[in-house]
Amino acid sequence: MTVVDQTPSEPTDARGRVAELHSLREQARRGPSDRATEAQHAKGKLTARERIALLLDEGSFKEVEQLRRHRASGFGLEAKKPYTDGVVTGWGTVEGRTVFVYAHDFRIFGGALGEAHATKIHKIMDMAIAAGAPLVSLNDGAGARIQEGVSALAGYGGIFQRNTRASGVIPQISVMLGPCAGGAAYSPALTDFVFMVRDTSQMFITGPDVVRAVTGEEISQNGLGGADVHAETSGVAHFAYDDEETCISEVRYLISMLPSNNRENPPVHETTDPADRRSDVLLDLVPADGNRPYDMHKVIEELVDDGDVLEIHERWARNIICALARLDGQVVGIVANQPAHLAGVLDIEASEKAARFVQMCDAFNIPIVTLLDVPGFLPGVDQEHGGIIRHGAKLLYAYCNATVPRISLILRKAYGGAYIVMDSQSIGADLTYAWPTNEIAVMGAEGAANVIFRKQIAEAEDPEAMRSRMVKEYKAELMHPYYAAERGLVDDVIDPAETRETLIGALAMLRSKHADLPSRKHGNPPQ
């Protein structure tokens, strides 16, 4: 059944008006037609209301402006005035906590944004900010409604302005479940997290046809802006999944790790994982030889409650790990070098990834635990010309600006500027621990010996023997495990097996930490 204009006939009494109301609500809930719903399902996509039902606790959704209709005319619009105007807005709960949501209905005008459509989104965003509750957008729209011209474009401006106003105030999560092209793509980019579904969601500023016309490059929509591209190459998407059900389930999980707003702490979950659980396995997971790789994921899983970790940007900039997890039921943000990928060096993308994560944690009162095993910044012409200085400074700025509890742990290598940037004590870490395998220095012993003892090595009868001797001497003098501790740059050298208990105890002590930043309108971070 296709609904063109649902203007009702005039009822004659109160019962008739109530019946009319229920009829209109049913029309709005059903959508434009069964055929449109079938077409949506044929693409492997759910409807807006089906998606909302997956996101929110059963029966909790309260809709806002369900009977809103556009007032535009021309190009045939006056004959098509469906209820909701192509976007479903309202609030409900996730694990009992209030969450606001808007979902594009692709069955109506292809989910395109017009004036009434935008006004509904503006209202629900304002409500989320005022209520101090997370906002989830379920995106499946064809961009601005061309028939409404500049009014549609102005609607996007209102969304962007509210995205910015809500930044760092409430969690904002964008779930891409269909196309998102042109200026519409900037709203997800302004939010805290972006989820995508493979094959059905794409994001790009200019589509394949425009790219082909301007540059001559041939590429598909997924090849240009699909989930895997943005999860692995561009870093636009934080998460990518194979289907909508899994994607939305993970959105619920993420919400469970975040506070409702910047004035609250993240939810605490009871755990049966003992706070004083020893982790002797760590002694075997991490080789003492700094040149041997290992998987930092296994270290993190061993430390946190029940090995349960939600990694952010898992497939982008894999030389650094950013994850949310719990220690004794309390949510923490973990930043860790990954020796299994590029030896755990910091480069442009890793610096950007970690900087944004640190800022997010600081905005939402999530303590930060940093696990160091970093040989330095990645050398190379491409890195220098790409601006590794300013990109690396983003991570430095983020840590220096963070006022949440900050604990750093040095597992093995911590060399040069990368050691400083990765939340060293000198830039404000509240507590710094190290394992007995730590090596904190300006650079590796081999490189340092080559610089300091260059003349002696060159003049020696056996340069290699001399170099070997000088390396051992440098290590013995400046790189032994207790050098930094002796100078107060490490608060304690700990048994790796006791790391979990040490971190939990330190975080408990820091839970009431309060730190004020200087009065200012805002900082001017490196770009």
Please give the positions annotated as active site.
Answer: 182-183, 417-418
Question: In this structure, how many other beta carbons lie within 10 angstroms of the beta carbon of residue 53?
Answer: 17
Tokens representing residue 295 in the block: 């998987």
Cβ atoms of 279 and 233 within 8 Å: the answer is no
Number of H helices, E strands in the chain: 21, 17
Q: Is the alpha carbon torsion for 49, 54, 55, 56 positive or negative? A: positive
Which single residue is written with the structure tokens 């100078």?
487
| One-letter amino acid of 38 | E
Residue 422 · residue 372 · CB < 8 Å:
yes
Specify the 3-state DSSP secondary structure of 510: helix
Residue 442 C-alpha from the chain's centroid: 32
| SS3 assignment for 77-142 | HHHCCCHHHHEEEEEEEECCEEEEEEEECCCCHHHCECHHHHHHHHHHHHHHHHHCCCEEEEECCC
Query: What does residue 441 show for φ and ψ, rounded to 5 degrees?
Result: -165, 170
Distance between CA 143 and CA 152 in Å, rounded? 9
Q: Which among 356, 342, 372 is positioned nearest to 484, based on CA atoms? A: 372
State whether residue 415 is helix, strand or coil.
strand
